[in-house]
Structures are given as C-alpha cells and as structure tokens.
Amino acid sequence: MARHGGRGWYGRLIAAAVGVTAVAAATSVWTAQAGQPGGGSDGTARHSAPKPAHVSETIAHASDGGAHAVNITIDDGPDPAWTPQVLQLLRDNGVKATFCMVGTQAQAHPDLVKKVVAAGHRLCDHTVSHDTTMDKKSTAYQSQQILDAERQITKASGGVRPMYYRAPGGAFTPYSRHLAASHGMRPLGWNVDSKDFERPGTDAIVNTVRTELKNGPTILFHDAGGDRSQTVAALRTLLPWLKQQGYTFGFPVR
C-alpha cells in the first residue's frame, strides 16, 4: 500500500500525543471495555461498555454487500469544512460509508462524529496523530496511538466504538493488527487508492477510481488534511456513476 507524503499538518498533531503512556492508554480502554468505572489517560470520564467481541486480525478488503458492492471509505477527518459536504453527498445518493478518523480530529469536532454516526455510517480508528512510520516504532508507541484514538473517537461519538482500524499509510504490523482485533476493530485496507490526497485534479481522481475498480471493492478517499474540494467534486461524479454501473454500497467485512 502506498504511503502518502506531504502531511506537514500532522506533525502538529503528534505533539498532542507526547507524554501519554501506552500503559495508561491500554489500562483506560480495557477498564471501559470491561464495564468498570475508570478514566482516560487524559483524566476524563470514560464511557462504560461491554468488552467487544474479538474479530479477525487479517486485513479486510472485501465488502459485506457481495460481489458487486463497493465500500466507500473516508480518511483523516472529521473536518469542519469538508466532512459536512461529504455527508451531504452521501445522503443525496443514499450511500453509507466508513469514516476512518484521526483521534485528535474526532476530539476537536465531536459534533461531526455524532453526525456521522447518526447518518448510519461506521467509524474506524486511524490513530491519534497519523504517523505513517508507526510500523517502525515500538509496540508501546503503536499501542498508545491505537488505543488513545479508540478512546477519543468513542468519547466524541457519545459511546459508539470504532469497528475498524486502518493504519496510516498502510503501516500495519502483526502487533497492531492483533491489538486492534482484540479491541473489536477489524484491520482495514483498501483496493483502490483514489490519489485524492495528492490533489491531482477532479478528472484524475475520477479516472483513477474507474480504472482501478477492478482491483477490488474498497475505495480510499479523504475528507481532511488540506483542500478536499477535488474529492467532493469527484464523489459528486462517482457516486451516481457507480450506481449506474449496477454497483451497490456495503461496508468492509468484519
């Protein structure tokens, strides 16, 4: 899987994660999953919830909608400028999607996280600070990034947990896949990288998706990390086109 470059704005997010230990993160999330009172690693109150069921550690690419379904996945938000526009397009076309959220973005915009959930979309953990080199980091660091983001997203949503984990830039490790699965989050890959993050132009994004759709059903888009007007314009074209081609829309397999 390709790794996206040029994400300078994420550097500022990494600072938000400094000083949070993996032990505190794991303890706070485990306590909440066990339904016991406890606090997050930032001292905030935790939502009590049952421990989620274990899911497969393998990276999901298929759709639960069957052989002629596609999965729309939206990464890096939520963003106050672009996420509402993406939500409106999905609503207009009757499409459900999976939103892979950066923990600090979810924490900053809980209203948008709640709108995503209320519209029937699914949540995915995309780590705290979107470090595309995290597969080269310690297991303690990987744990902090994944579990703190799970906590941040769950709190922002009002208690709805992420169902998937997508490593930034596809930087999965056996450890991160196992950890995510043990917390009920299926590792999530993609088959079609729309390349929208690079802002190559709306036509280029549309053509990439149309050309690469033969590779599989899970399509990667972004609703944050910069100007996403090309993504919005491409979705405005692609969603009706996919329906015209006879595709339905599903969620990644769990």
Confidence of residue 25 (pLDDT cuts 50, 70, 90): very low
The per-residue pLDDT for range 95-128, each reduced to its tens digit, is 999 999 999 999 999 999 999 999 999 999 999 9
The per-residue pLDDT for range 90-100, each reduced to its tens digit, is 999 999 999 99
The stretch 130-149 carries a mean pLDDT of 98
Could you give all domains of the chain from N- to C-terminal order, each with its CATH number?
70-249 (3.20.20.370)
pLDDT exceeds cutoff 60 at 19: no
pLDDT value, residue 54: 77
The per-residue pLDDT for range 27-66, each reduced to its tens digit, is 333 333 333 223 333 333 333 345 567 799 999 999 999 9
Has 92 been annotated as catalytic? no
Has 75 been annotated as catalytic? yes
User: Which is catalytic among the residues 4, 75, 76, 130?
Assistant: 75
The per-residue pLDDT for range 173-224, each reduced to its tens digit, is 999 999 999 999 999 999 999 999 999 999 999 999 999 999 999 999 999 9
User: Which is catalytic among the residues 109, 121, 130, 222?
Assistant: 222
pLDDT value, residue 29: 35
DSSP per-residue letters across the chain: -------HHHHHHHHHHTT--HHHHHHHHHHHHTT---B-TTS-B----PPPPP---SPB-SBTT-TTEEEEEEES---TTTHHHHHHHHHHHT--EEEEE-HHHHHH-HHHHHHHHHTT-EEEE--SS--TTGGGS-HHHHHHHHHHHHHHHHHHHTSPPPSEE--GGG---HHHHHHHHHTT-EEB--SEE--GGG---HHHHHHHHHHHGGG-SEEEEES-SS--HHHHHHHHHHHHHHHHTT-EE--B--
pLDDT exceeds cutoff 90 at 86: yes
pLDDT value, residue 252: 98
